[in-house]
Structure formats: C-alpha cells, structure tokens
C-alpha cells in the first residue's frame, strides 16, 4: 500500500502518524524544523510544546479536558502515553518535562517500522500527487504553505489572527436584567441577548477598560499586518470615550423590557455561539486585557454579574481555516477529499484539543484506507463534542478557536451520574458538579459503545 502523508510533526501530526501506523499503514511525516523554524518553536524536536508545559486538568470524572485525556488514552494515544511517562508534579493537572516528552514522542515515531520522518517544508498542496494527505501544520503554518491553503480554500476562508471575544455560559446570565431581542426586531427576536448600561455605568466601564492590565503582544505579532479591521475593545475605547457607543455598544433599535421608560446609554450584545444555545459570545469584545481583568471588568456589566466564561477574549497570531464550512465530518476538505486537516489549524485550541483532532484525522484516514467504518464519535463524547465544534456546531461567521468545555456537550440529567452517586439530595453548587459528573460518565459509556460498534 502507498503511504499516507502527514504534514507537520507537532502535536496533531505526531498523533495522526502514530494512529495510522498502528493501524498497519505506512506513513510519511513531513516536518520543516530544524531546517526552517516558526517564530515560537525553539528546537527541532517533534511535538515541541511552545509555551506552557501543562496539558491541564487530568480528572476525567468532572472535567472536560480531563475527559478528553481519558478518551484519548482509551484510543491508544501516543501523546497521552508520552505525557504520562514524563509527568512532573502539578497537583491535579497533567504537566510534563517538555524535553523528555518531545524525546519520547520522537523516539516512538522513529522506532516504528511503518513511519518515515522527512525533514522538509511542504509549500504547495496543489502540486502533491499523494492519495491521502493530512495537513497538521498548526497555528504558525509556514507562509508558503499558508498561501497554498488559501488558494485551495478561498482567501476569506482562512484567518491569520484569532480575535476572540469572551464566551459566556447562558445559564450564568441574569435574565432579570438581560433580555432577548434583535436590533430593530430583525431576525426571530431571540438572536441576541442584551445587557443595558446607564451613563454612569458606561463611563465607569470605559475607565476600567483603559486602566485594566493588558497582555503584551510579542514582537512578531505586532508585525503581522492582519488586524486593523478587528480592534481590541480597549483600543477602541482609547480612541474616545464615546467611540464604543457608535460601535459594538450602540444602544439603538433596542428596548429594555425590564426598564421600558429608561433610555439605555450603551448596550452590550451577546450572540448565540453554538447549535445547542448554551454558549453566547460578547459581540465585538475581542480584547487583550489580562484574563483576571476581563472577569472583573465584564462582570460589572448589568446581567453579567455572575457570568461564567467558557473562554476569555484574546488576540494572537493564529492560522486557521473556517472548518465548519470547508470540512466534512471526517475532517476532509469537501472540495478535495484527499486532503484532511488536523490540529489547531482546524480551529480547535490547545495542546490537548489539537492532539485530539490529530488522533481523529489519523483514525479516519487509516479506516478510509482499510474500508472500515469512519462514523465519527457521538457528540456526547468529548472527542465528538470537539469534532462537532470544528465541523458543524459553531457559527461560521464568528468561528474562532475554542478549548473543549461542557457547553459543547448536549446537557445531561443528574440521573446520568454513575450509580453510586444517584439518589442523593443536592445543594445548588453540588448540582452543577453532579451535572458535570453525569456528562463525563455518559461520555465514557458512549465512547466504549462507539469503539465496539465501529470494530472491523
């Protein structure tokens, strides 16, 4: 059999190559480092962690990312195995010795009879005549390859910066203050959630934005010319105290049913962010404020006093494609199904998530080659929920990279908890925990059933 080709030996590409080889199919892994590097990588090692050494929480009984760890372990993940072997103490988190981790991954791939590692930059996708290719070149995909991907997908289907507005869990919004309405009552009336401010609240809010501690841009990020069209909210505020009332916070075309006689001075809008309606993004609120500051300042918005954030805002150099319209359920490019995408370039976010999408891409590719079932994992699993975000569930217009979180799963009933936890009476905070435990237990059952159902 001819080999499957994987471009990019980062987290996703290394995992994809491993899954393919373990299925008995030869694979060539193309990695441009050390010949050519990225602005963030420091070594020539495969699966280099570019920043933190943490894979985040490892608890799979009540934590979404821990659940993703466990699901990947059950599917024979090389990255999870190498992470576990190189674990360093970090409380409930799975943190690793980064060099040891990268060496373990590289050794396993090098030692595998079916894997060839080719150190070269791939620059032109159209010129390739491979039967099956997986592109896993990450958030810092080389310029030449980025251009080639753009040519293949259409220029406006690819982003070079993420401009992330915070995303709020709907069930943490106070609807005695917030209300549903579309501006000028266009749409079906429930398209937006609105939070109104009076003059005093607005001016205090602007001052907080100006005074708030900011994250710094890296030098090479400042020089990336792509983001004038999408300014951080605090930069808009710097341009004038009233600027935001003519921009994302304009108060026109909306009436607050909780205070019908009072004119709103400014209004923050949130737009539905996933099919399930559990997550809502703050429209136009991309920001470089420090994370703690975002929570503090955005919770001064009436209705968001107790907001819980599925993700906080940010802006970084980040190459990703609009996967929800470009890719099918098996991560294939609809317009050219011999090419799959995997890892952060598909619009997931984080080491663990990138690996997970790499695992799925490798599994889909090898199963397709072997004429086996390529049905995606159910949406009740963490793998399925994340894949759903990438290939369908998210709003295409506002599509931005996202970590795994409980908002991506269909809600679970408390009685989906493991049997030993059922039937106990719960306080309010404990109900939330119980619901998470229910999602996790349900996921692992669904994963086992899926593994069984898709067995050759």
Which residues of the chain form contacts with ligand FAD (CB under 6 A)?
7-13, 30-33, 38, 40-41, 50-52, 121-122, 136-142, 145, 343-345, 350-351, 354
The angle formed by the CA atoms of residues 35, 37 and 39, to the nearest 5 degrees, is 165
- Say how far apart CA 426 and CA 420 lie, in whole Å: 14
* Residue closer to ligand FAD, measured from CB, 93 or 385: 93
Cα-only R_g, the chain: 23
Contacts of 85 (CB under 8 A, 6+ apart): 100, 101, 104
- Roughly how many angstroms between the first and final C-alpha of the chain, as a whole number? 19
* Residue closer to ligand FAD, measured from CB, 8 or 388: 8
Assigned token pair, 327? 């890719």
If DSSP codes are grouped into helix, strand and coil, which group holds residue 210?
helix
**In this structure, what DSSP letter does residue 192 have?**
E
Relative to beta strand 309-311, strand 314-321 is: unpaired
- Least gap, CB of 73 to ligand FAD (angstroms): 18
What are the CA-CA distances from residue 386 to residues 130, 204, 355 (Å)? Answer: 28, 38, 11
* Residue closer to ligand FAD, measured from CB, 121 or 275: 121
- Least gap, CB of 38 to ligand FAD (angstroms): 5
Residue nearest to ligand FAD (CB): 10
- Least gap, CB of 14 to ligand FAD (angstroms): 8
* Residue closer to ligand FAD, measured from CB, 253 or 292: 292
- Least gap, CB of 24 to ligand FAD (angstroms): 23
* Residue closer to ligand FAD, measured from CB, 102 or 380: 102
**Hey, CA dihedral for 177, 179, 197, 163, is it positive or negative?**
positive
Side by side, which strands form the sheet with 93-96?
54-57, 93-96, 87-88
- Least gap, CB of 380 to ligand FAD (angstroms): 24
- Say how far apart CA 41 and CA 141 lie, in whole Å: 12
- Least gap, CB of 154 to ligand FAD (angstroms): 19
- Say how far apart CA 246 and CA 237 lie, in whole Å: 11
**In this structure, what DSSP letter does residue 214 have?**
B
* Residue closer to ligand FAD, measured from CB, 43 or 190: 43
* Residue closer to ligand FAD, measured from CB, 351 or 364: 351
- Least gap, CB of 319 to ligand FAD (angstroms): 9
């Amino acid at each position: 059999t001819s080999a499957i080709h994987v471009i990019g030996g980062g987290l996703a590409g290394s995992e994809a190559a491993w899954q393919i080889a373990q299925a008995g199919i030869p694979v060539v892994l193309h990695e441009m480092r050390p010949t050519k590097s990225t602005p963030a990588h420091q070594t020539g090692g495969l699966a280099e962690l570019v920043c933190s050494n943490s894979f985040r929480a490892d608890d799979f009984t009540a934590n979404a990312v821990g659940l993703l760890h466990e699901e990947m372990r059950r599917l024979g993940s090389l990255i999870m195995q190498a992470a576990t072997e190189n674990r360093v103490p970090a409380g409930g988190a799975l943190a690793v010795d980064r060099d040891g981790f990268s060496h373990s991954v590289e050794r396993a791939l090098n030692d595998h009879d079916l894997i060839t590692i080719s150190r070269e930059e791939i620059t032109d996708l159209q010129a390739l005549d491979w039967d099956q290719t997986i592109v896993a070149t990450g958030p810092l995909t080389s310029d030449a390859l980025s251009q080639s991907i753009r040519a293949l997908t259409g220029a406006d289907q690819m982003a070079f910066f993420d401009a992330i507005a915070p995303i709020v869990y709907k069930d943490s919004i106070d609807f005695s203050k917030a209300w549903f309405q579309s501006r000028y009552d266009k749409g079906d009336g429930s398209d937006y959630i609105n939070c109104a401010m009076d003059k005093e609240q607005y001016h205090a809010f602007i001052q907080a934005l100006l005074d708030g501690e900011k994250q710094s841009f890296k030098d090479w990020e400042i020089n990336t010319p792509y983001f004038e069209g999408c300014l951080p909210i605090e930069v808009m505020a710097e341009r004038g105290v009233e600027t935001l009332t003519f921009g994302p916070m304009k108060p026109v075309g909306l009436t607050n049913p909780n205070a019908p006689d009072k004119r709103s001075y400014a209004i923050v809008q949130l737009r539905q962010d996933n099919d399930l309606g559990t997550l809502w993004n703050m429209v136009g609120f991309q920001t470089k404020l420090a994370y703690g500051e975002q929570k503090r300042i955005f919770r001064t918005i009436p209705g968001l006093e107790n907001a819980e954030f599925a993700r906080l805002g940010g802006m970084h150099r980040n190459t990703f494609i609009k996967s929800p319209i470009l890719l099918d359920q098996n991560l294939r490019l609809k317009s050219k199904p011999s090419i799959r995408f995997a890892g952060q370039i598909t619009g997931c976010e984080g080491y663990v998530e990138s690996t997970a999408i790499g695992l799925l891409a490798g599994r889909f590719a090898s199963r397709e080659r072997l004429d086996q079932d390529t049905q995606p994992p159910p949406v009740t699993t963490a793998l399925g929920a994340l894949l759903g975000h990438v290939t369908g569930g998210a709003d295409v217009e506002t599509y931005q990279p996202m970590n795994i979180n409980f908002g991506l799963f269909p809600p679970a009933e408390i009685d989906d908890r493991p049997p030993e936890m059922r039937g106990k009476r719960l306080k309010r905070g404990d109900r939330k925990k119980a619901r998470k435990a229910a999602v996790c237990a349900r996921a692992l059952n669904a994963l086992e059933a899926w593994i069984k159902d898709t067995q050759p």
